Amino acid sequence: MRLLLSLPFIGLLWVPFYNRELPSLWGFPFFYWYQFAWVPLTSLLIWIVFRDGLKKGEE
Amino acid sequence: MGAGINWTALAVFVFFFVLVTVMGFWASRWMAGPSHKGAHLDEWGLGGRNFGAWITWFLVGGDFYTAYTVIAVPALVYAVGAYGFFALPYTILVYPIVFLIMPKLWHAAHKAGHVTAADVVYGRYQSRPLEFAIALTGVVATMPYIALQLIGMEVVIRALGLSGELPLLAAFVILALYTYSAGLRAPALIAFVKDLMIYIVVLVAVVVVPAKLGGYGAVFDSARDVFANKGGATGLTLKPAQFLPFATLALGSAMAAFMYPHTLTGIFAAKDANTIRKNAVFLPAYTVLLGLIALLGFMAYAAGVKVQTNNDVVPALFNGLFPSWFAGFAFAAIAIGALVPAAVMSIGASNLFTRNFWKPYVNPNISNEGEAKVAKVVSLVVKLGALVFILFLPTQFALDLQLLGGVWILQTFPALVFGLFVGWFGARALLTGWAFGIVYGSWLAFADGIKPVHTFTLGGDRYSMYTGLIALAVNIVVAVLANLVLGKGSRPALRSA
């Protein structure tokens, strides 16, 4: 479960992958909206791991 | 920026400043409740360790995303484009790290009544030298950070048309007095106002400004044109040589962020570990805000803003595009946004001084009440030091020291964090690693002329990386070697955290 938390690191530190302008979204070049998209995505991943921990009765 | 005073903006500014001042003094009674224990460092320095998810969200958000961020991140984006955006991955990656590490640290601190990071380290390793190293790093790294907040405040005061150092001095005395009387409760309460104001300002700005300038497409287009003309390492996307610096700055800054005394103070003041976990889920809301604030740097191009120093970009944009009253509101938000972190930073530094310098070396038998008293006085001294810094030394000096501070604070990571997960390291090895990291990191930074990234040449290819992260790697390697050579020494058993 905790491995989910490595996804933002892979997604954001692999810079060549997102260092381009297209496809753009609402005028935002890809470089920008891709990084913005990781904000809610990271929140969601942390929440999933958090909920999983609660179920297992983590202190 | 005109020389005249903008009276409407100034009136709005003063109104909000007075409002938070009243709140700051009133805060000493807020959240005191039945658990109020009277004079005790826990009360002054950690707000009674009773902050739930909401207050912690505002407090940590308020002291992590500082006024200087609001000024400096758009300034950097304005100057170099995509590269300045490393702040976005940095403030995303920090939360998985907070989620995994900080609840464990909170447990370690809560059980033993620790107030500072150095307390936790001493609690685990029983080593005064290691404790001293961690506390010293914390205090030294925090001082220039407080000075930066004052720079942020100075920039908006200047944008209001006020000149001279008197307004800054006045704002500063007020800050010092209510922090003295109310402790951590003051910034926690003021953070509510500050954050609401900043959210309003940014949401209005990111809707209204592009609407006036022809949409985000037009904003990015005009920035692209300017960077194309300017050339060099600027642009809407990164140059290949910037990939590694961008990624390592983001990662290194994320690892360093919660090693600072002010962010840790917010963590230790939480009432339980799940408060921290919930905050790791919801704090990224501020990151969206930060990303939008960064875009103000591009909007300045579309609006045709011209400034003498990059730090004036945001105030100039507000002065140019908004009515005076809203500009005043925005500047008040930024100035108050400087008060919250400056207060928490001075409290964090005072806690360190009291617990890890004063108590062990000056007065080991100090009472709880005495600790609170010492910390309050030190908080005044710390802020006075930062003020002297700003008034008498060139601004560049504070910026350089802040940069070095980042490299230094990152070197406390192994001592503070490794023990939470593995019991293998001993105090002497960690101290040796810390010393190598600090010396090597400082040496690299000085050799490069105080730049955040260092360039290696490997087989003809050049690689640039964040200096702090390089020093951390040296730190860890030396700690591992030292542990093998010196043995574990008086390593205490790994405690269940």
Rounded mean pLDDT of B243-269?
87
In a domain, B414, yes or no: no
pLDDT tens digits, one per residue of B311-344: 888 888 888 888 888 888 888 888 888 888 888 8
Confidence band of B495 (pLDDT split at 50, 70, 90): very low
pLDDT tens digits, one per residue of B377-414: 888 888 888 888 777 877 777 778 888 888 999 999 99
pLDDT tens digits, one per residue of B14-41: 888 788 788 777 777 776 655 555 567 7
Confidence band of B92 (pLDDT split at 50, 70, 90): very high
pLDDT of residue B412: 92
When mean pLDDT is compared across A54-58, B212-216, B350-354, the lowest value belongs to A54-58
Instruction: Give ipTM to 2 decimals.
Output: 0.89
**What CATH number does the domain containing B234 carry?**
1.20.1730.10
In a domain, B321, yes or no: yes
Rounded mean pLDDT of B86-105?
90
The count of domains in chain B is 1
CA of A42 vs chain B CAs: smallest distance (Å) = 7
Q: Residue B253 sits in which domain range? A: 18-399
In a domain, B450, yes or no: no
In a domain, B84, yes or no: yes
Q: Is the pLDDT of residue B497 over 60?
A: no
In a domain, B366, yes or no: yes
Which residues of B sit within 8 Å Cβ distance of A?
82, 85, 88-89, 92-93, 95-96, 99-100, 107, 215-220, 236-238, 240, 243-244, 246-247, 250-251, 273-274, 277-278, 280-282, 284-285, 287-288, 291, 295
Residue of A nearest to B99 (CA): A46
Rounded mean pLDDT of B117-127?
86
Confidence band of B472 (pLDDT split at 50, 70, 90): very high
Q: SS in 3 state form for chain B?
A: CCCCCCHHHHHHHHHHHHHHHHHHHHHHHCCCCCCCCCCCHHHHHHHHHCECHHHHHHHHHHHHCCHHHHHHHHHHHHHHEHHHHHHHHHHHHHHHHHHHHHHHHHHHHHHHCCCCHHHHHHHHHCCHHHHHHHHHHHHHHHHHHHHHHHHHHHHHHHHCCCCCCHHHHHHHHHHHHHHHHHCCHHHHHHHHHHHHHHHHHHHHHHHHHHHHHCHHHHHHHHHHHHHHHHCCCCECCCCHHHHHHHHHHHHHHHHHHCCCHHHHHHHHCECCHHHHHHHHHHCHHHHHHHHHHHHHHHHHHHCCCCCCCHHHHHHHHHHHHCCHHHHHHHHHHHHHHHHHHHHHHHHHHHHHHHHHHHHHHHCCCCCHHHHHHHHHHHHHHHHHHHHHHHHHCCHHHHHHHHHHHHHHHHCCHHHHHHHHHCCCCCHHHHHHHHHHHHHHHHHHHHHCCCCCEEEEEECCEEEEEEHHHHHHHHHHHHHHHHHHHHCCCCCCCCCCC
